[in-house]
Structure 1
Amino acid sequence: MSSINFNPAVSRRGLIMGLAGVGAAGVLAGCNSSDAGSGSTGGSDASGATFKIGGIGPITGAAAIYGNACQHGAQIAIDEINAEGGDIQFELNFQDDENDAERSVNAYNNLKDWGMQILMGTTTSTPCVAVSSETNADNLFQITPSGSSTDVIGGQPDVDGNVAEPRKENVFQMCFTDPNQGAASAQYISEQQLGTKIAIIYNNSDTYSTGIYQSFKDQASEYDLEIVSETTFTEDSQTDFSVQLNDAKNAGADLVFLPIYYTPISLILTQANQMGYAPKWFGVDGMDGLLTVEGFDTSLAEGCMLLTPFVATAEDEATQAFVSKYEEDYGETPNQFAADSYDCIYALRQAIEQAEVTADMDYSDICDALVEVFTSSEFSYTGLTTGGEAATWSETGEISKQPMGMVIQDGVYMPLDA
């Protein structure tokens, strides 16, 4: 696959970074608990040499597959690091927010009471926007494995030039931003000649979905893609997609772009099959999880394509070791959310080593030091989700790394070759 640039944003840190040293980056944690309580696991010793890492995501509810994956992926990384017995040790506390912004802020406050020094999370975008405003005000380092909205990091204008959220100097992403996912999808569909007449079905009540849709639409004409149908739904109307599918079918769409999560995608595929409509289907990271939907005929997912930074069937040694451990511990194959969280932990350890911060430091001082490292031209990270290349972060908090195309074949995700 040809290289795709995932880091187009302009730096907005400027003098603020030089004068204020505001911090960022975060990490996930390990033990499941409700938003009213907390649970922690990992190495902890009497010397106080253990970093307290907080994590937030949906462990229950409709989006639980994402939160559990993030928790489990981070847990494996932390267990590995602690088992090495080095100077850097982690104690983990992961809170359930049920994919709800208010609960996510409550979880964040619980973690502060616990003594959190760094946050990995949150898992989903809308809660992450709310929590990143809190961490920014507190100057607590945050890195999210999967909160992909540009409002998570802030400082980036929409298509009308408006900036909804100011730049949050302390917040970084391990995942691609929504605009990057949309633009890259348009480029990939064009380069691989997957379709020319494109229908889009998106959730206009969801920040994640609308962000990807808008960037895809903006780039489509550049790549000679004709959008013949654009239809929407909301959280309250995601059960009947007959109107959207008929519109796409009547418009002659040969590919349907789905910048949405896997649950409505399962219904769309089921209803399309019932009406005899069989275009190509192309999604983004929200499609990951489609094969786990209870009661869904997974044969309908055959041939579905998506862009992702991670594929569990990759043959490199690091991926196979992670997949094997994940399957052993949790009885299922890890998705990209698990891999992104695993990478968050190891990137954090690498930055801690380079910054020479210690666990007895104040979280704000830790934050300032880690921000300086993450935005340094001398810092890069190679992991499970970086496509075999070194990933770097811009001063906007975005990551630049290589995506991969995947297709569902025989019930598993496989690399989509040109």
Structure 2
Amino acid sequence: MKFKTIVTAGAVAAMLVGCSNGNSATTDIKAPKFGFIGPLSGEASQYGSAVKNAMKMAINDYNKKHGTKITGVYYDDKADPTTAVNDYNKLYNDDKVTAVLSPVTTGSALSVASAASKNNTPVLSPSASGDKFTMNGKTAYKNVFRICTNDSYAGTYLAKQSKAKYDFKNVAVLYNKESDYSTGVAAAYKAEAKKQGVNVSFYEAYNANTKDFSTFISKIKQANPDAVFLPDYYESVVSITKQLRDSGVKAPIFGADGWDGVLGVKGVNTADFENCFFTSGYNKDATGGPTYEFVKAYEKEYGTTPSMFAGMAYDTVTVMMKAINKAKSTDPEKVNAALEKVKVSDDEAVCGGFTYDKNHNPVKELNIVTIKNGQYVTAK
């Protein structure tokens, strides 16, 4: 997306990091060190790279604005939970980080949450959406939070929109049984769809290494749905959507935030996604405010329009520093207590203001992003 307005670096920093309790509160605190764990190589690297880029940009902006000396330490977990825990142990034992602003993917985040709870390390993930990520059984971990909405929230929202906005009466659901993210969103959608009077005529799961979806597609065609719900990450979504279209399925296909990135997959036929849609945590079409300023600055810095994951990563620095300033300390217990009570306004965050519920999930508005003419367009 191109904008004609020119924004200075100073203006961007002022707009995006004006959330502290004042310069004195910030500079009185010893320079925090934040850890990153995410896929910088492998199939999910598009997510990890976006999060790392935005996190580095947010740290630089905050330091320029407040005179702080925040630093970041970055590890590539390749979206592997075992590697992620090893990375967390390095961040905690060797790097002595103040907080972990990640992991990026749900599988890694679930493992790190358990490990970090033993040390009370503040964990604030931009994008780990699995319901269980913040939960230690039936209660929330004291130290684990997120910026994105959780799977149940997204699945429920999409089921409501299926009825109210799109008037779907019959939907097929195909999901990845080996993905906590995919199974969580699918289950929430199915439960809410029933309440909304939307018939789920097909509900089946595939293995993560499945390449040929013809058997599933034959069943979907027999169900003759108004739409197909496909809650998975962008690489799988592109493959399945292509096979659906090649087989003659013309019904709308939709998903949740894991779709963000489908148009960036090498060799993707954008026509396959015409009028398909997914949920997003921010409005990249914004014409003003923090989101607009962030998009412009990111495009200037990295030469590409940022995904939702980049926006949420920028917000992790804003929100964590807001909590540290409120706590007036980097002591983990005090920071975690401050995070629970944090209130973020719309003019402070790229991905919108929010408060936390009792399970440390943000309560915020979602956007619907439609794909038209090979471009992401935020639905009005």
* Correspondences of 1:138-217 after superposition (within 5 Å): 138-155=119-136, 167-217=140-190
Taking a change above 3 Å as real, the CA distance of residues 48 and 181 of structure 1, as seen in their structure-2 partners, is: closer
Note if 1:409 corresponds to 2:372.
yes
- Rounded to whole Å, the distance in 2 between the matches of 1:219 and 1:308 is 19
- Map of 1:372 onto structure 2: 337
In structure 2, C-alpha distance between the alignment counterparts of 1:395 and 1:187, rounded to whole Å: 23
SS at match of 1:414: strand
Are positions 1:110 and 2:83 aligned together? Answer: no
> Match for residue 220 of structure 1?
193
Q: 1:283 to 1:194 in 2, by over 3 A?
A: farther
The equivalent residue for 1:6 is none
Offset of 1:313 from its aligned partner? 1.8
Q: Alpha-carbon deviation of 1:413? A: 1.3
> What CA RMSD, in Å, does the superposition of the two structures yield over aligned residues?
1.6
Q: Which residue pairs with 1:25 in the alignment?
A: none
Aligned-pair CA distance for 1:167: 3.1
Could you tell me which residue of structure 1 aligns to residue 281 of structure 2?
309
Which residue is 2:25 aligned to? none
1:194, distance to aligned residue in structure 2 (A) = 4.4
**Which deviations, in whole Å up to 9, do the C-alpha atoms of 1:136-195 show, x marking residues without a partner?**
000111101011112211146xxxxxx5xx631100011111111111110111110242
| Residue of structure 1 equivalent to 2:54 | 73
- Residue 395 of structure 1, CA deviation: 2.8
In 1: Cα distance, 2:282 partner to 2:159 partner: 19
How do 1:253-268 and structure 2 match up within 5 A?
253-268=225-240
- Cα drift, residue 55 of structure 1: 0.9
Q: CA deviation at 1:249?
A: 1.4
CA offsets, 1:304-328, max 9 Å, x none?
1011111322212322221122122
Task: Write the letter of the residue equivalent to 1:109.
Answer: N
SS in 2 for 1:201: strand
SS in 1 for 2:127: coil
Does residue 98 of structure 1 match 2:78? yes
AA of the residue aligned to 2:98: Q
Counterparts of 2:292 and 2:239, CA distance in 1: 32
The equivalent position to 2:351 in structure 1, one of 385, 393, 396, is 385
CA deviations over 1:217-247 (Å, ceiling 9, x no partner)? 111111110111112111121x111122221
Shift of 1:68: 0.7
2:69 pairs, out of 65, 69, 89, with 89
Amino acid at match of 1:83: K
Equivalent pair of 2:320/2:339 in contact (CA under 8 Å): no
Q: How does 1:338-377 map to 2 (within 5 A)?
A: 338-357=310-329, 361=330, 366-376=331-341
Aligned to 1:63: 44
- Counterparts of 1:260 and 1:284 in 2: how far apart (Å)? 8
In the superposition, the TM-score normalised over structure 1's length comes to 0.81
Letter paired with 2:157: A
Flag structure 2 segments of 5+ consecutive residues without an equivalent.
1-27
Q: Secondary structure at the match of 2:166?
A: coil
User: What percent identity do the matched residue pairs reach?
Assistant: 27
Question: Paired residue for 2:102?
Answer: 121
Q: Secondary structure at the residue paired with 1:405? A: strand
Q: Given that residues 237 and 262 in structure 2 are in contact (C-alpha distance below 8 angstroms), is that contact kept between their aligned partners in structure 1? A: yes
**Other structure's SS at 2:209 match:** helix
Of 192, 200, 204, 1:231 maps to 204
Look up the equivalent residue of 2:319 and give its one-letter code: A
Q: C-alpha distance in 1, partners of 2:54/2:261?
A: 15
2:98 and 2:121 in contact (8 A); partners too: yes
Aligned-residue offset at 1:204? 0.8
- Structure 1 residue matching 2:343: 3-state secondary structure: coil
- Secondary structure of the corresponding residue to residue 360 of structure 2: coil
**Compared CA separation, residues 191 and 393, structure 1 to 2 (3 A):** same
Displacement of 1:409 in angstroms is 1.3
Instruction: Report the alpha carbon displacement of residue 381 of structure 1 after superposing the two structures with TM.
Output: 4.0
| Worse-matched range after superposition: 281-290 or 260-269 | 260-269
Question: Which structure 1 segments of 5+ residues have no match?
Answer: 1-46, 157-162
Q: Distance in 1 between matches of 2:169 and 2:303?
A: 40
* 8 Å CA contact retained: 1:122, 1:128: yes
Tell me the secondary structure at the aligned position of residue 275 of structure 2: coil
Name the SS for the 2:71 alignment partner. strand
Residue of structure 2 equivalent to 1:398: 361
Residue aligned with 2:285, SS: coil
Pair 395,368 (structure 1): closer, same or farther in 2 beyond 3 Å: farther
Contact 2:29 2:328 in 1 (8 A): no
Deviation per residue, 1:187-226 (Å, 9 max, x gap):
1111102421100010011111111111111111111101
Partner secondary structure for residue 89 of structure 1? coil
In the aligned structure 1, how far is the partner of 2:239 from the partner of 2:148? 26
Q: Displacement, 1:89?
A: 3.2
Q: Taking structure 2 as the reference length, what is the TM-score of the superposition? A: 0.88
SS of the equivalent of 1:235 reads: coil
Match of 2:344, SS state, is: coil
State the one-letter code of the partner of 1:143: L
- Cα distance in 2 for residues equivalent to 1:275 and 1:130: 39
**Deviation (angstroms), 1:74:** 1.1
